[in-house]
Amino acid sequence: MVKEQHVFTSESVTEGHPDKVADQISDAILDAIFDCDPDARVACETFITTGLVLVGGEITTTCYADISEIVRNTIKEIGYTEADYGIDYKTCAVLTTIDRQSPDIALGVDVAENRAMGAGDQGMMFGYAVRETPELMPLPVALAHKLAQRLAFVRKGDENTKPILAYLRPDGKTQVTVEYDDNNMPVRVDTIVVSAQHNPDVTREQLQNDIRKHVVEHVVPENMLDENTKIYVNPTGRFVIGGPQADAGLTGRKIIVDTYGGMGRHGGGAFSGKDPSKVDRSAAYMARYIAKNLVAADVAHEIEVQLAYAIGMAEPVSLLVNTFGTSKYSDAEIVSVIRKLFNLTPEGIINHLKLRRPIYKLTAAYGHFGRELEEFTWEKTDMVEDIRRLIKK
């Protein structure tokens, strides 16, 4: 098959985007519960709009979590601290509607005398890795995330740095289009779009100059930019009203931002607010872990791993790999290695990746994959030598 030059686009959003606010609230609640009850069952959804946060779902736990306080603290940390932002942590209404997990689901998940822990739901999950960046992520989404993180940094600063662009507000989106050559390798950045919420006093000219200097040029490698790269900052010319005041937010509505930016497939299940007995989350993490270790072990330049589960059953009902013609090994050989090295039961995944810890709020903005943090065990490449020893030479 003849390959041709093409472009691919991915997006990211900041922590102040309404859907990401909802994700962070859901995962902050999960963390608070896991902090005292690592065996809890949590499926927590958040809806947020002007002046209102609604938290609902199913939670079975032995501990107490002050959901209202968690919601307010999360909103404060993000930066919604003034009433004219449309929502603020001090005055927003917080409503809750929480029930216990269905006993019918618990029948399949609970460990019994003669049965291992089963999957908390049916479905398929995908993991993906490609040798385009040091973190083995697609370049478009990697750059989009870094631009979004940089937007938050220049707005808030940190313990050592004062805000650089204090006139920015929490909401924002980024988008990056990368051009690939006929060998499917990235060669240049074709287009960058940055939409940054701001106070009404800043001029469009100042905003555009500041975003280019302090965000784009700080993140995108100089050798990926050229005279034909297009950079658009706030294309409409104004972005004052944002966050939940402009758009309602909902947990789980940014699943492509959360994963691979559209490169590689997605099973459809969201992550945030779900404890790891839900394979939507834990098996997607394991699929990424497997894919990343296979690429790091030079088994393939690019690989996608699919897992599928039936509710209540421990072993996956299917395992599929696709190397897109970039491996000297057959898919069957790679599947054989995966089955020998990786425990793909929900309990095996949870134990290997240490998922019963309060680590999830960290995942809820700027992508679940590609950030090599200590808490993100699925980003480790600690199985490389085992894979190399086992793979057929």
Q: What residues act catalytically?
A: 17, 19-20, 45, 58, 173, 239, 247-248, 253-254, 274, 278, 280
Contact 186, 180 (CB under 8 A): yes
The burial of 331, by beta-carbon neighbours within 10 Å (0-12 exposed, 13-18 middle, 19 or more buried), is given as middle
Q: What are phi and psi of 35, to 5 degrees?
A: -60, -30
Tracing tokens 């297009």 back to the chain, one arrives at: 230
Residue 171 in tokens: 């909401």
Chain Cα centroid distance, residue 183: 28
User: H or E element: which one contains 210?
Assistant: helix 204-211
- Rounded-to-integer distance, Cα 366 and Cα 1, Å: 35
Q: What is the DSSP-derived secondary structure letter of residue 377?
A: G
Contact 163, 217 (CB under 8 A): no
Q: What is the DSSP string of 56-111?
A: EEEEE-SS---HHHHHHHHHHHHT--SGGGS--TTT-EEEEEEEPPPHHHHHHHS-
Contact 286, 344 (CB under 8 A): yes
